Structure 1
Amino acid sequence: MDASTIITLLAFCTCASFIQRVSGFGFGIFVMTMLPHLMPSYGEATALSGILSACLALYVVVRMRKNISFKRQIPINVAFIVVSYFAISFVASIDGQFFKKILGVILIVISVYFFFISEKIRIKASLPMQIGMGSLSGVMGGMFAMPGPPAVLYFLASEPTKEGYLAGIQTYFLISNVMMTVFRVKAGFVTEAVGYAWCVGIVGVLVGAFIGSKVFKRVPTKILRKVVYAYMAVSGVIAIVM
């Protein structure tokens, strides 16, 4: 890795970690706008994103473990694990350049959704909804390293407090990313290049998490999310064009 790659990776991991620590999600969405351009293959980019996201989630889960409701974790995680296994297997058989284009479309769709639609939708934390959201999250996590949006909807609906939501969604990210990493090892995506990049990225993750924890109660999360969504849309257009 050259100096410019190290600096870029460090900067993006710091920003992504800060965003997720403050808003509860967004790490994979943010870093996957850049990782496919930094890593040797698309599969390795998803592997690095998942491992770093798991590290960040572990940091938050340990700190907020008293707010976790494991009862509300089981159905959505089971559905995610089953679906993500097949999604990751599918990624192993498809050209990475093709997935960069699809990723661009997904980024634009997600940004539009969160800008204009998400606040108007209310869902019930029922068993069918848990399975449905876990399955959709499995597809997005396995193919694009972005399991967050469907899970965010579920935990916002099921958790009565802000602390419960943050602890719940981070527990979900920890479990889901650990399982996806196991699947990606089997698929051959966890390589030496991923290990080197992790050594750089984890520094950014820790720095971003530390800063995010200090401003969690002060930063206007709504504004921060809007900035992230705009960035996602622009990055999606770039991924499609390039």
Structure 2
Amino acid sequence: MDFPVFIMIIFASSFVASFIQRVSGFGFGIFMMTILPLVMPSYGEATALSGLLALVNSMYICIRMWKQIPWKKLLPILITFIVVSFFAIRWVAGMDGRVLKHILGGILIFVSIYFFFISERIRVKPTMGVQLAMGTASGLMGGFFAMQGPPAVLYFIACTDSKEEYLAITQAFFFIGNSMMTLFRAGNGFVTRTVGLCWLCGIVAVFLGIWVGAMVFRRITLPSLRKVIYAYMAVSGLLAILA
């Protein structure tokens, strides 16, 4: 692939992922991991780049809403996530990238079906057991696939009392979680020079996506946007399995 085309793909995917995250509250990693494993030199580098860009995406809101973060609701699931993701990332280093892409395809299809047909019917109670279970699921999905959002979001929706609290706790989870996973991935050799170069190119697109997403948020129908995203995920998952 020509270098200019490669950089354009990184820029465009970073913009779209950031736009999705700003409008819907999550989905950055889900979208990025439909693109990056196809263009990055290795699967591990794809997860590292996705995590680094997602970190930047959530950092601004996390800092701005720091005083509104409900730490008692966040810490149990966050600590569980960090511990599990540490081991998941170490396992990724010894796994075949092609196999992981096929597994990722299955996960994308499952997540799209879940949010299309099941998520509105499921309500979880914010108990300690639920936090540990969702933290474990998020740690595995974050470590293996850089998409820790779905299990955590299910818990955050159930435990928060306002949209402001929901936004504060989700962005704090993504910011701190991705910061820790970046350190873990660096220790396993996934944060390479290529990842750094792509991050510098993608970070501009991330801020642009945040800006456009903020403007569009008040004008777009969120359910319609989500359906488009989930349909895209299903198609991308199928292509990953068949590739």
TM range (shorter): over 0.9
**How many Å separate the matches in 2 of 1:65 and 1:208?**
22
Shift of 1:141: 0.2
Q: Secondary structure at the match of 1:73?
A: helix
Q: Which residue of 2 aligns with 1:147?
A: 148
CA deviation vs aligned residue, 1:136-174 (integer Å, no higher than 9, x gap)? 000000000000000100110111111211121111000
* Structure 1 runs, 4 residues or longer, greater than 4 Å off: none
> In the aligned structure 1, how far is the partner of 2:63 from the partner of 2:83?
26
Gaps of at least 5 residues in structure 1 are none
Q: TM-score, normalised by structure 2?
A: 0.97
**How much does 1:233 deviate?**
0.2
**Root mean square deviation of aligned Cα:** 1.1
Shift of the 167–218 alpha-carbon distance from structure 1 to 2, 3 Å rule, reads farther
CA drift of 1:29 comes to: 0.3
User: What code does the residue aligned with 2:22 have?
Assistant: R
Listed as ranges, the matches of 1:108-127 within 5 Å are 108-127=109-128
Aligned to 1:45: 46
TM-superposition CA deviations, 1:44-101 (whole Å, max 9, x none): 0000000110110102212333432122110001100111111001100001111111
Tell me the residue number matched to 1:234: 235
Does structure 1 residue 65 correspond to structure 2 residue 66? yes
Q: Which residue of 2 aligns with 1:218?
A: 219
Aligned-partner Cα distance in 1 for 2:164–2:10: 29
- Secondary structure at the residue paired with 2:135? helix
Aligned position for 1:164: 165
Which whole-Å CA distance do the structure 2 matches of 1:111 and 1:76 have between them?
A: 23
Moved more, 226-235 or 56-65: 56-65
Secondary structure of the corresponding residue to residue 117 of structure 1: helix
Which ranges of structure 2 fall in alignment gaps of 5 or more residues? Answer: none
Matched letter for residue 226 of structure 1? K
* Paired residue secondary structure (1:128): helix
Residue identity opposite 1:210 in structure 2: W
SS in 2 for 1:49: helix
C-alpha deviations, 1:102-125, integer Å up to 9, x for none?
100100000000000000000111
1:4-153 map, 5 Å: 4-153=5-154
How much has 1:223 moved relative to structure 2?
1.2
Residue 219 of structure 1 deviates from its aligned partner by 2.3
- Written as runs of structure 1 = structure 2, the 5 A alignment for 1:169-188 is 169-188=170-189
TM-score between both structures, scaled by the size of structure 1: 0.97
**In structure 2, distance between residues paired with 1:108 and 1:167:** 28
